[in-house]
Amino acid sequence: MSLANGRTYLAIPGPSVVPDAVLRAMHRASPNIYEGELPDMMPGLVTDLKRVARTDGHVAIYISNGHGAWEAALANTVAVGEKVLVLSTGHFAIGWARIAEARGIEVDLLEFPNGGTFDLERAEAALRADNGHAYKAVMAVHVDTSSSNRNEFAPLRKILDDLGHPALLMADCIAAMGCDRFEMDGWGVDVALTGSQKGLMCPPGLAFLFFNDKAAEGRRRLRHVSTYWDWTQRAAPEAFYQYFSGTAPTHHIYGLRAALDIIHAEGMEAIWQRHETLARAIWAAVEHWGQDGPLRLNIADPAVRSHAVTAMSIGKPNGTRLRRWCADEAGVTLGIGLGMASEDDPKSDGFFRFGHMGHVNVHMILGLLGVVEAGLGALDIPHRAGGASAAAKVISGV
Ligand SMILES: *Cc1c(COP(=O)(O)O)cnc(C)c1O
């Protein structure tokens, strides 16, 4: 007998839980795209998006997923045959690097071991060696959703400045903008990108590309940028259709308005704090369970863990068994292991992830952890009982 009936909970690292207020805002007849409410909403959306990214720069909006944002960032900054430096701590930086290569860009890839962050000395050595300034951009991921590590950008800015290197600093913030602290202007990031379906709590379908004046200047250097991907007009449109280079994402605009209202009513600092506390509760549970048995957090050092996603190992095939049990018996869907495949575990059956981004609160997280504890017991996976209580103690101690 399954006990899964009731409200289901998608606890994967994106798409995230969509608030009822966002769903309600989208449930309406098709609006006019030529005048009225929809065009009138745009200036406010632009302002409120920039408050999430913590920038006074510009934003271009695309009807796409995160892969489209990757494409858009490169289309406006780096020409065919030019060179970039990619710093990778997981699957997603490599995905962005592959898109660059497919665009005819030469990629130097610096990989850092899964489980850590950048080795700044290696990054500095690579930039120092580039004394002819061939690198047009340094590309890196803020939170790598596969490994669940978090990377700092301010130290990269400092290296570039100290060397007088003009490369643009570009950040993929898709996993955790609106969850983990990110300060685009404060940290000296030139281009930052995200999607609608993670910290921004909307369905997939919108991507946001934030850029500063230096990046805009760089765009003018390029001879050929397709009209569709060009950020210039999207960020400074003279007519409503130019925001999207065509028909607007009508219902998504209403959903995004509702989501940004929720975000700014809570406030960015409070949101970052909420994610941090909930993440600490999750870590306490996992570390407790892992005292007896195979369960481990992928990122050992709490200082470089994301507050939005947590990757874990539990030995093959227990990752897959646990995910199945939670979905089938309890109505909770956990994330698969991503980028963790190895020769002895080609399908990553020994890994799983929790998404805890956006519209999540204490009862959801304690519910998630209670379900996992029940699953560990039901499947006879060795663990120390009491992880969910360890998480509850973190919450009550705040
Ligand atoms: C989810 C994610 C992506 C990919 O986004 P899509 O919408 O699936 O294209 C890229 N980078 C990071 C860090 C992500 O978390």
Question: What HEC string does 174-234 produce?
Answer: CCCECCECCCCCCCCCCEEEEECCCCCCCCCCCEEEEECHHHHHHHHHCCCCCCCCCHHHH
- Reported as a single tens digit per residue, the pLDDT across 232-268 is 999 999 999 999 999 999 999 999 999 999 999 999 9
Q: Which of 248, 264, 144 is nearest to 206 (CA)?
A: 248
What's the rounded Cα separation, in Å, for the pair 249 and 196? 12
CA distance to 19, 75, 103, 218, per residue, from 227 (Å): 34, 10, 16, 16
**Which pLDDT score is estimated for 337?**
95
Q: Which of 146, 174, 198, 353 best tests ligand 1's pocket when mutated (most atoms within 8 Å of CB)?
A: 174
- Residue of minimum CA distance from atom 3 in ligand 1: 66
- Reported as a single tens digit per residue, the pLDDT across 165-179 is 999 999 999 999 999
**Which pLDDT score is estimated for 175?**
97
| Ligand 1 centroid – CA 174 distance (Å) | 5
Identity of residue 157? R
Report residue 63's pLDDT band, with 50, 70 and 90 as the boundaries: very high
Average pLDDT over residues 373-393: 98
Q: Which of 87, 92, 307 best tests ligand 1's pocket when mutated (most atoms within 8 Å of CB)?
A: 92
**Which pLDDT score is estimated for 193?**
98
Neighbours of 356 (CB within 10 A): 25
Q: Above 80 in pLDDT, residue 124? A: yes
**Which pLDDT score is estimated for 4?**
96
Average pLDDT over residues 362-370: 98
Neighbours of 120 (CB within 10 A): 14
**What pTM value is reported for the model?**
0.97
Neighbours of 301 (CB within 10 A): 11
- Reported as a single tens digit per residue, the pLDDT across 265-282 is 999 999 999 999 999 999
Residue 20 corresponds to which tokens in the numbers above? 């009822």
- Residue of minimum CA distance from atom 9 in ligand 1: 66
Q: Looking at the domain 9-16+267-396, which fold is it?
A: Aspartate Aminotransferase, domain 1 (3.90.1150)
Contact residues for 47 (Cβ-Cβ < 8 A; gap 6+): none
- Reported as a single tens digit per residue, the pLDDT across 195-222 is 999 999 999 999 999 999 999 999 999 9
Q: Above 80 in pLDDT, residue 398? A: no
Q: Looking at the domain 31-264, which fold is it?
A: Aspartate Aminotransferase; domain 2 (3.40.640)
- Reported as a single tens digit per residue, the pLDDT across 142-160 is 999 999 999 999 999 999 9
**Which pLDDT score is estimated for 1?**
81
Q: Above 90 in pLDDT, residue 115? A: no
Pocket of ligand 1 from Cβ distances under 6 Å:
14, 65-67, 92, 141, 145, 172, 174-175, 195, 204
The rounded mean pLDDT for the chain is: 97
Q: Above 90 in pLDDT, residue 113? A: no
| Ligand 1 centroid – CA 195 distance (Å) | 7
Q: Any idea where the domains of the chain sit in the sequence?
A: 9-16+267-396, 31-264
Average pLDDT over residues 38-46: 97
